[in-house]
C-alpha cells in the first residue's frame, strides 16, 4: 500500500481550506487577528478534517475516507458561504417577499423604536407610537396602521440583530 504523496495532500488541504473558510476568516488567520467563538469553531473543524486526512495510513484508507470527507467539506463550505453571503446582503431580502418600500418603512419604525426604547430607555415607547410617526408615508403601502404595527413587531422579533443594530445607531453608522 502506497502513502498519498505530499503534493496531493497539500493540494487537497488548500482546496479544503478554500472551500470551508470564508475569505474574511482566512484574512484574520493570515494576519494573526483574534477570532470570534464561531470563527474559531469553523477553523477547528477544518483543522480536525485535515488531521483526519493526515492520520490515514495508506492510499486505500485515504481513498475510502476521501469521499466522506469531501461530502463533509462541501456541506460545511455551503454553510459558511451561505452565512457569508447572508451577512453581505439585506438580512430580510431572502426571506421577505414584501415590496422594498414596505421594508424601508418597517426599518424606519424599528430603528425609531430601538432609539426610544433601548437607547433612551423610554419604557412608554411602543411599536404603535413609532408606526404613528411614519403613518403619513406608509398610508399607500399598508391597509391600516395595525397591519403596519404587526409587520414591525414581527420583523423586530424575527429578522433583526438588535444588539448589532443598537451599536450601529449609537456609533452613528445608521441615522434615524
The predicted-structure confidence for 70-109, as pLDDT tens digits, reads as follows 666 666 666 555 555 555 555 545 566 788 889 889 989 9
Q: What is the mean pLDDT of the chain?
A: 76
Same domain, 146 and 79: no
Same domain, 12 and 82: yes
Long-range contact list for 46-55, CB < 8 A, 24+ apart?
A: 46/16, 46/17, 46/20, 46/21, 46/76, 49/16, 49/20, 49/73, 50/13, 50/16, 53/9, 53/12, 53/13, 54/9
1 belongs to a structural domain: no
Query: What pLDDT sits at residue 80?
Result: 58
Share of the chain above pLDDT 70, in %: 66
Average pLDDT over residues 5-14: 70
- Domain containing 156 equals 100-171
124 belongs to a structural domain: yes
Rounded Cα distance, 40 and 38, in Å = 5
82 belongs to a structural domain: yes
Amino acid at each position: 500500500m502506497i502513502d498519498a504523496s505530499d503534493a496531493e495532500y497539500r493540494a487537497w488541504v488548500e482546496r479544503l481550506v478554500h472551500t470551508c473558510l470564508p475569505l474574511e476568516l482566512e484574512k484574520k488567520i493570515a494576519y494573526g487577528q483574534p477570532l470570534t467563538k464561531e470563527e474559531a469553531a469553523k477553523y477547528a473543524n477544518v483543522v480536525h478534517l485535515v488531521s483526519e486526512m493526515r492520520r490515514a495510513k495508506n492510499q486505500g484508507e485515504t481513498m475510502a475516507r476521501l469521499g466522506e470527507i469531501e461530502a463533509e467539506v462541501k456541506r460545511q463550505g455551503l454553510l459558511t458561504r451561505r452565512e457569508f453571503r447572508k451577512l453581505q446582503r439585506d438580512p430580510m431580502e431572502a426571506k421577505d417577499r414584501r415590496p422594498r418600500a414596505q421594508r424601508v418603512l418597517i426599518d424606519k419604525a424599528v430603528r425609531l423604536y430601538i432609539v426610544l426604547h433601548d437607547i433612551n430607555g423610554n419604557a412608554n415607547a411602543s411599536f404603535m407610537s413609532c408606526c404613528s410617526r411614519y403613518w403619513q408615508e406608509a398610508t399607500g403601502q399598508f391597509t391600516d396602521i395595525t397591519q403596519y404595527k404587526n409587520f414591525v413587531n414581527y420583523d423586530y422579533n424575527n429578522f433583526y440583530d438588535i444588539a448589532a443594530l443598537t451599536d450601529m445607531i449609537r456609533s452613528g453608522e445608521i441615522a434615524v
